[in-house]
Amino acid sequence: MSSSLRKIRIPAFLGAVALLLILGAPSGHASTGASAMNFGLSLRAGTLGAGLDLDAAMNRSFTLRLGYSGFTLSHSLNTTDVNYHGSLKLSTLTALLDWYPFKGEFHLTAGVAGDNTRLDVTGEPVAGAYTINGHTYTTSQLGTLTGQAKFSHSAAPYLGLGWGNPVGTSSRVHFLFDIGAIYTGNPVVTLNAQCGSLAPAGSVLCGTIQSDTALEQHSLYNKINKFQWYPIVDLGVALRF
C-alpha cells in the first residue's frame, strides 16, 4: 500500500475546509439583525466513535462544524474459508456545514470527512490449520495470515440531517442528534501469507499458498466492498459559549 493511502491528505482536507468557510461566511448584505458569531463545543458518540466538535455560527442559517472522532473495536470477520480476528480503528476528521432552513433546530448537513479508518485482520487457524481456496494448510506450512483494509477516499463527502443547534441562543446547553452517510469509495485491501518451515520460500508449496492467498484477498475485498456508504448515527450534547 502506498504511503499516500496511509495518511490523510492534509492539503486536500484543508482545501475543503476553506471551501466550507467561504460557503458559510455571511454575505456583506446580511441583515443587521444577525447576532454576533457564537461558538459551541459538542461532545458526540456514535458510529464514528467518540469525539469533539467545535461549532461556529456564521449567521442565523449556517454553522460551520470542525471535529474529530475515533474509537477502536475488535470484531470477528469471516469469509467463505477463513475466520479472522479484526481490529477496526476509527479515526475521522470532519469539516461540515449545517444549514438551518427554518432558523430553528432542524438542519441539513454537507461536508467532507478526512477518513484514516483502517481494519487490521489476522487469520485464525482452526484445529491448527487454515483452509484457503479448498486447500488445507497446517501452521507449519502457512505460518501467519495478516491483512489490512482502508477506504480509498482520504477526503470523503458527507451528507446528513439532524436536530439540535449547538450555537442556538435559546439555551447554553443543547442536545444533538444526527444521521447521515460518508461515501468511502472502494476499499484498498491487502492480505499477506508468511510461509512456514515446511513450505520454504521459493518452494512449489509456498507458491501455491501465495496463489490461494491472492484469491482469498479478492474474497475479503468483496466482503468489505459492501460498505462503500458508511452510515452515521450519533448523539451529542453541546455547550454554547
Eight-class DSSP state of 153: -
Terminal alpha carbon distance of the chain: 44
Q: Report pLDDT for 34.
A: 38
Q: Report pLDDT for 217.
A: 94
What pLDDT, in 10s, does the model give residues 52-93? 999 999 998 999 999 999 999 888 877 767 889 999 999 999
Q: Report pLDDT for 226.
A: 81
Sign of CA dihedral 215, 217, 220, 222: negative
Q: Report pLDDT for 82.
A: 86
Q: Report pLDDT for 174.
A: 95
**H or E, element range at 209:** helix 204-224
List, in sequence order, every beta strand (DSSP E) within the chain: 39-46, 49-57, 62-78, 83-99, 106-115, 118-124, 129-132, 135-138, 142-151, 155-163, 173-183, 187-195, 229-240
In order along its 241 residues, the chain shows pLDDT tens digits of: 433 334 434 445 545 555 554 454 444 444 433 345 689 999 999 999 999 999 999 998 999 999 999 999 888 877 767 889 999 999 999 999 999 999 999 999 999 999 888 999 999 998 889 999 889 999 999 999 999 999 877 789 999 999 999 998 888 999 999 999 999 888 899 999 999 999 999 999 999 999 999 999 998 898 888 878 899 999 999 999 8
Distance, CA of 166 to CA of 173 (rounded, Å): 8
Structural domains present in the chain: 3-25+38-240 (2.40.160.170)
Comparing CA positions, the residue from 231, 232, 218 lying closest to residue 187 is 218
Distance, CA of 155 to CA of 113 (rounded, Å): 5
